[in-house]
Amino acid sequence: MESYLTAHHYDLVTPDGFITDIQNISDTKRIASVKIKHISPAFVGYDIEPRLVYFNVKSTLAQLGLNGIGREYQWDRKTSTALVKVELIALGELAKAMLALLEPGAYIGKLFAADERRRVRDPDYLMRMFGRSDRKGRPLLSLGGLEGSGSLILEKIGGRTVAFLSLLDGVIKYAPSIYGLLPTLAKALTKNMSQTRQLLHLDHQMEPDAPRIIHDQDVLLVRTAPLHIRTVYARVVDQLLPQGYRHLSANVLQPDTFDSGDIYELYGASNQILDDIPLEFYTLEPHREHIFFADRDQLQSALEDPASLFHAFATAPEPKNDLAAVFVVKGTQLLGLQAKDWIIRDPYKYEFPGLAHPARQSLVVEKYIEHQPAYPFLQAIETGLITSQGILLSRHFPTPLLKRMLLNDLVQRCLKRIYFQYPSATHGGYFSQEDRAMLVDLAKFGIPVFWVDDVTKQILQYSFKTDKETGMFVPLPLVEDFRKATVFGVYGSNLEEGNFEQELHTLWSGILQMRNQASHPLLSKDTPLAVVTGGGPGAMALANRVARSLGILSCANIVDFRPKDGSVVNEQKQNEYIDGKMTYRLDRLVERQAEFYLDFPILLPGGIGTDFEYSLEEVRRKTGGCPANPILLFGDENYWRQKVTSRFQVNRETGSIKGSEWISNCFYCVQTAEQGLSVYQRFFSGTLPIGKEGPIYKEGFCLVGAKKKASPSSL
């Protein structure tokens, strides 16, 4: 896969070849043996019929009237070389003079593979390029300017798209001084210097009134408006030229052609005036086509089918802990992925010296980045070797050390989506805090991220709630629901479900009905609902199960509680009722709790974890980290008195919560769903006394259904 990510590789052409031997046949003809080296292993000419491979003489020679026709071809794939017998024919006195100067070592042309499978058949393929430019602002395809030109006429002829380029008036002739330039050109050819053709322009003389008619044993040089090509190869179609006209073998325009490709060299004999030049087109490798993701209908259709993505990842070579990545730009590529298409890296561990050794740290980090399988693709995008927009498939979520490349504006232009199968090579299904930070950055930079999840057998998209700076992986059909949802959450024991299933069912059923009459920012007829838990067993499984049964988006923030040395935490396996999720490593437990950011928390009886969650919700409201929305304490009032009251009263008596006593009016102890619904009804209607101006409850919470025990200072 990496073989094509080289600086000057195109798979339909070879590098230039040089003369190894030249035989003098006459003053107008030579037979040259041409050797071509360093041919790409992906060169299409290896695998198609030999009759479709042509020798293309350098345009520098063609403009002087020197034609080159390949007569015999031999190539050796193992040594990446080819030997070509080329018949060199001089047309006119200038060409004869140049022919006499050619010697071994001169680079005179290359091979072009006219693969019929790559021929452009539909004009729409080219039409969509008009008006578009590459990242440097150069037109992708036009004749005379960015918006294209009326002089570029596209037709479908014989199953192929043909462009007819209108010719400008007149013909090109040479000043006599051109003969003095020929020795310099001959020497430049032995060095394979680029842009030698530009030197010819110094001696061009435009004769605007001369008729465009070809004479025997001469060359007709004509001009079109400047042609820009960035997306295809163009090739002159001899069969569509007027009878008696032929183009010299310098008839292929490469996709690095811009503000050039405007001079054409013809020979033959005819009295008919030439009006235009017919060109056919051949596509580039998919990653170099400058194709927009929005134009890839087949790719987008395949991405909507989860089976396509699961199958694509199944083609990545084993073992599964190896790092693997591939950049995909079209549907047929995704559907036809093979093991050889992936870039694979061993999951080596790198010892980072740390910030105390910044120079060494920087060196090791750079080495680590370059070892990542996604690196060659991102680098190729940065350097312009990949120009088509596409998606990155990465077996594991990309390391955050790649962030500077992923968020690079050049990469952002091409990288439209990231798909991964596992969050981490070392931690399995759990993300680090650095991963989470990069997910947020990718969301803000408009690069969607998708989890091809083996657990749920679904495609989950990272969905970001911008108002809360938090996100979660959610099934595709539910993404918008999550972004707009009012979030209820349940904290409670991972060991016991309790007998709250019916109460939660009744509570959330009542909220769903309440939406029809409510007009609150957090609840109206168009407001989706979501429920978030810790994703484990016990009370968490209970809440997720009830949510799913009611058609409410069921989500979880899941921590890695797998047994560890010295651990006194029960392993909490993910329950089976989860739609959306985010996962966390255990060392980031506090950050995970902060990411719940619930609109309406509900606490069921629980242990130390529930106590921590209760305190966190208190702190959020005290500090203004979230609005003073009501929190339900479900269960026996004596249980919550033992949990809450003594602590609240000690804090109040010692003055350690002076000015924050009002926090007690955010908690409501309920035993039934109906009591909970009464709290919500009053809140959504604006009649619930809550917040800094509300009452202070001596027990640290309001006991719903009983006479309110507010402190005298609040009355």
Q: Which CATH number does 123-170+211-284 carry?
A: 2.70.40
* CB-CB contact of 111 with 36 (8 Å): yes
* CB-CB contact of 213 with 272 (8 Å): yes
Virtual torsion, Cα 113, 116, 118, 120, nearest 10 deg: 120
- The pLDDT confidence band at residue 714, using thresholds 50, 70 and 90, is very low
Confidence at residue 256, expressed as pLDDT on a 0 to 100 scale: 73
Query: How confident is the model over 578-590, as pLDDT tens digits?
Result: 999 999 886 656 6
Confidence at residue 352, expressed as pLDDT on a 0 to 100 scale: 67
Domain map of the chain by residue range?
Answer: 2-117, 123-170+211-284, 287-454
- The pLDDT confidence band at residue 712, using thresholds 50, 70 and 90, is very low
Pick the CATH number of 2-117 from 1.10.8, 2.60.120, 2.40.30, 2.40.160: 2.40.30
Strand 29-36 versus strand 252-253 pairing type: unpaired
Residue 459 has, within 13 A of its CA and on its CB side, a CA count of: 21
Q: Would the CA dihedral through 704, 707, 711, 715 be positive or negative? A: positive
As a whole number, the mean pLDDT across the chain is 89
Confidence at residue 146, expressed as pLDDT on a 0 to 100 scale: 55
Confidence at residue 51, expressed as pLDDT on a 0 to 100 scale: 94
Q: Would the CA dihedral through 319, 320, 325, 328 be positive or negative? A: positive
Q: Look at 586 and 341; give whichever has higher pLDDT.
A: 341
- Please report the beta strands in 552-705, taking only residues with DSSP state E, as ranges in sequence order: 553-559, 580-584, 600-603, 631-634, 667-670, 702-703
* Number of other CB atoms surrounding residue 708 within 10 Å: 14
Q: What is the DSSP string of 177-210?
A: THHHHHHHHHHHHHTT-TTHHHHHGGGEEEETTS
- The pLDDT confidence band at residue 365, using thresholds 50, 70 and 90, is confident
On the question of a common fold for 2-117 and 287-454, the answer reads no
Q: Is residue 3 over pLDDT 80?
A: no
Confidence at residue 363, expressed as pLDDT on a 0 to 100 scale: 83
* CB-CB contact of 174 with 205 (8 Å): yes
Write the DSSP symbol of residue 221: E
**Gap between the Cα atoms of 670 and 632, Å rounded:** 7
Sheet holding 263-268, edge to edge: 204-207, 171-174, 220-223, 263-268, 245-247
Give percent of the chain with pLDDT exceeding 70: 92
Indicate the helix (H) or strand (E) that contains 56: strand 53-57
Query: How confident is the model over 226-250, as pLDDT tens digits?
Result: 888 888 999 999 999 999 999 999 9
Confidence at residue 449, expressed as pLDDT on a 0 to 100 scale: 98
User: Which tokens in the block code for residue 43?
Assistant: 């060169």
Q: Is residue 174 over pLDDT 80?
A: yes
**Gap between the Cα atoms of 436 and 278, Å rounded:** 55
Domain 287-454: CATH class, spelled out = alpha beta
- The pLDDT confidence band at residue 206, using thresholds 50, 70 and 90, is very high
User: Which tokens in the block code for residue 254?
Assistant: 């490469």
* Number of other CB atoms surrounding residue 565 within 10 Å: 4
The residue type of 494 is: N
Strand 486-491 versus strand 600-603 pairing type: parallel
| Contacts with 79 (C-beta within 8 Å, 6 or more apart), sequence order | none
* CB-CB contact of 365 with 343 (8 Å): no
Query: How confident is the model over 20-70, as pLDDT tens digits?
Result: 999 999 999 999 999 999 998 889 999 999 999 999 999 999 999 999 999
Of the listed ranges 115-119, 213-217, 330-334, 455-459, the least confidently predicted one is 213-217
Indicate the helix (H) or strand (E) that contains 245: strand 245-247
3-state SS of 363-377 is HHHHHHHHHCCCHHH
Confidence at residue 715, expressed as pLDDT on a 0 to 100 scale: 26
User: Which tokens in the block code for residue 679?
Assistant: 């709290």
Confidence at residue 573, expressed as pLDDT on a 0 to 100 scale: 80
* Number of other CB atoms surrounding residue 408 within 10 Å: 16
Q: Look at 425 and 323; give whichever has higher pLDDT.
A: 323
* Number of other CB atoms surrounding residue 549 within 10 Å: 15
User: Which tokens in the block code for residue 205?
Assistant: 């003389």
- The pLDDT confidence band at residue 625, using thresholds 50, 70 and 90, is confident
Q: Angle at CA 422, nearest 5°, toward 418 and 425?
A: 115
Q: Would the CA dihedral through 606, 608, 613, 619 be positive or negative? A: positive
Q: Is residue 221 over pLDDT 50?
A: yes
What is the rounded average pLDDT of the residues 97-109? 97
Q: Which of 382, 392, 309, 390 is nearest to 343 (CA)?
A: 392
What is the rounded average pLDDT of the residues 270-298? 92
Of the listed ranges 221-225, 356-360, 387-391, 507-511, the least confidently predicted one is 356-360
Query: How confident is the model over 519-566, as pLDDT tens digits?
Result: 999 999 999 999 999 898 999 999 999 999 999 999 999 888 776 665
What does residue 345 show for φ and ψ, rounded to 5 degrees?
Answer: -135, 140
Of the listed ranges 447-451, 610-614, 672-676, the least confidently predicted one is 610-614
User: Which tokens in the block code for residue 252?
Assistant: 């292929």
Q: Look at 40 and 187; give whichever has higher pLDDT.
A: 187
